[in-house]
Amino acid sequence: MPHIRVRGIAFDELESVSDILIENLAEVTDTPNSHFTLEYQSTTYLAVGGASPAYPFFDFLWFDRGDEIKQKVALIFEELFRPLVDRGQDITVLFHDLQGKDYYENGEHF
C-alpha cells in the first residue's frame, strides 16, 4: 500500500528512475512491487518575490516499519535523485505513518 506523492522534480526525471525506485523500496520494506503507487504532482513554489526553484519533496504514506527502515528508504531517495538536482539542493522525504484502524479499501476495513 505504500503511496508516494512526488513534487518538485520533472515528470520525465521521475519516470526515468521509477522502476528502480520501486524495486529498491519493495526490497527494503519487504513489500511487493505491485503494492506501491507513485503520484506525480505538478507544483509551482512561491517565495517572497515570486516563483521559486522547486526542490524534490516526497510524501511517503505507509504503515510504519520503524526508524531503521525509514532511514534506509530516505537514503534510497537521496541516492536516486541526488544526480538529478542542483548541488546543495535539498531532497525531502516526509513519512506519514498510517494506522490500520483508519485504512479502508473498497469499503472494507483491513
CATH number of the domain where residue 70 is located: 3.30.429.10
How many domains does one find in the chain? 1
pTM: 0.88
What pLDDT does residue 99 have? 87
Mean pLDDT by 10 residues, the chain (110 residues): 94 96 98 96 87 89 95 97 91 93 82
Range of the domain at 95: 3-109
**Can you say whether residue 6 is alpha, beta or left, with left for phi > 0 and alpha for psi between -120 and 50 degrees?**
beta
**Measured distance CA(54)–CA(90) in Å, rounded:** 9
